[in-house]
Amino acid sequence: MRHCISLIILFLMISAGVTPIHSQAAGTQQALEKYSSVQQAAPANAGSLPVQSSEKTGVTENDPYADEQNLDYDDDPFAEARVTIADPIEPLNRISYLVNDRLYYWAIKPAASVYKWIIPEPARISVKRFYLNAKFPIRFINCLLQADLSGAGIEFGRFTINTIWGIGGLLDPAAGGEIKLAEQDTDFGQTLGMYGVGHGFYIMWPVLGPSSPRDSVDIAGEYFLDPLSYIGPWYTGIGIRPFKIINNASLVIGEYESLQAAALDPYVAIRDAYAQYRAKAIKARKARSLIFKDDGAGDSPDSPSTVKE
């Protein structure tokens, strides 16, 4: 009998050591695949968790700066496939980056600062909303192309509500109160990305900023689908667009500066942020799509240009 009890207790002990792994295997969602492969690769790491961790802390207490075995950190359950973007035309890109940098400090920022000083914030937000509302066709068509019917419905509802009750889009009643229809962040580059088209390589466009051959289709798409292109003669568009840039810049003055303050090489920092941001945007859209589901291969949608380091 006593042996029985001690056996049960031993069993409990063992299972206490093991259960967290079971529960985490059952509990985790996307990270599951990567994590379990790590478990197989290094069972000692996960299996005898408590002992291991106490050993580990012993080491870290002695010298946290010491060498470590696992410096790839592929055990990190949150680490997405590491996204990078090829940059074969870096010298050219760096020139346009400098051009944009000068443009920002010499033209856009001073103009936006004065504008910000004159126009109160709510008015500037309304102007931004007006332009966003006008770009409804782009978002609507892309929702359809991405097989995201609810997104298309939301966009259609937003456009109707905001155009009629939001005074042509100056206000955003659709997002607030009980309606709660959030704007769908979509564009043609994303749609192509979901179809499996890769970035290709990194392009820093003068004035327009970070892009790639794939995402550059939006420049054309925006021209033809943005209603602003059809207002009056062609030169009114040229007059309206810089105003849009300055209005939107007035709402984010200081963001570029803090990015520069934090980065060792702002050019590389922006390139990486762009690659990460696009990859995750496409992943988020895939989750909403009826057809283009993530295949769970772990690779990001921008496969040709993504490298798992």
Partner 1 sequence: MIKKITIFSLLMMLILCVPVYAGAPMTTVESTVNKVLDVLRDPKLKDPSAKKAKAEKLRVIYKEMFDEIEFSKRTLQRNWTKFTPDQRKEFVGLFEQVLEKAYLDKILEYSNEKIVFHKETMAADDKAEIQSKIVTSSKEIPIYYRMILKDGKWKVYDVVVENVSLVQNYRTQFSDILASGTPEKLLESLRKKVNTQ
57 contributes a contact to partner 1 by CB under 8 A: yes
Interface positions, 219-278, toward partner 1 (CB under 8 A): 251, 254, 258, 261-265, 268-269, 271-273, 276-277
Cβ-based nearer residue to partner 1, 19 or 236: 19
Q: How far is the CB of 154 from partner 1 (least distance, A)?
A: 16
Cβ-based nearer residue to partner 1, 166 or 225: 166
Q: How far is the CB of 224 from partner 1 (least distance, A)?
A: 27
Which H or E run includes 146? none
C-alpha span between 138 and 144 (Å, rounded): 10
Bridge partners (DSSP) of residue 203 are 211
Which tokens sit at 224? 């033809």
| CB proximity list for 207: less than 8 A, separation 6 or greater | 100, 103
CB 99 within 8 A of CB 206: yes
C-alpha span between 300 and 201 (Å, rounded): 15
Cβ-based nearer residue to partner 1, 225 or 302: 302
Q: Judged by CB under 8 A, which stretch of 2-10, 159-167, 201-209, 290-298 contacts partner 1?
A: 2-10
Q: What is the DSSP letter of 296?
A: S
C-alpha span between 209 and 219 (Å, rounded): 11
- Which of 33, 42, 43, 76: binder of partner 1 (CB under 8 A)? 76
Nearest to 202 by CA among 101, 81, 97, 308: 97
Cβ-based nearer residue to partner 1, 35 or 141: 35
Interface positions, 108-147, toward partner 1 (CB under 8 A): 121-122, 125, 128
Q: How far is the CB of 110 from partner 1 (least distance, A)?
A: 20
Q: Judged by CB under 8 A, which stretch of 54-62, 133-141, 145-153, 195-203 contacts partner 1?
A: 54-62
- Which of 26, 71, 291, 297: binder of partner 1 (CB under 8 A)? 71
Q: How far is the CB of 298 from partner 1 (least distance, A)?
A: 15
| CB proximity list for 80: less than 8 A, separation 6 or greater | 279, 280, 283, 300
CB 226 within 8 A of CB 135: yes
Packing angle between helix 136-145 and helix 217-225, nearest 10 degrees? Answer: 120
Residue 219: left if φ>0, alpha if ψ -120 to 50, beta else—which one? Answer: alpha
CB 67 within 8 A of CB 59: no
- Which of 53, 150, 160, 236: binder of partner 1 (CB under 8 A)? 53
Q: How far is the CB of 194 from partner 1 (least distance, A)?
A: 17
50 contributes a contact to partner 1 by CB under 8 A: yes
C-alpha span between 56 and 190 (Å, rounded): 43
Residues lying near partner 1 in the complex (CB under 8 A) are found at 2-3, 5-6, 9-10, 12-13, 16-17, 20, 24, 27-28, 31, 35, 49-50, 53, 57, 60-61, 63-68, 71-73, 76-78, 82-84, 121-122, 125, 128, 251, 254, 258, 261-265, 268-269, 271-273, 276-277, 280-281, 309
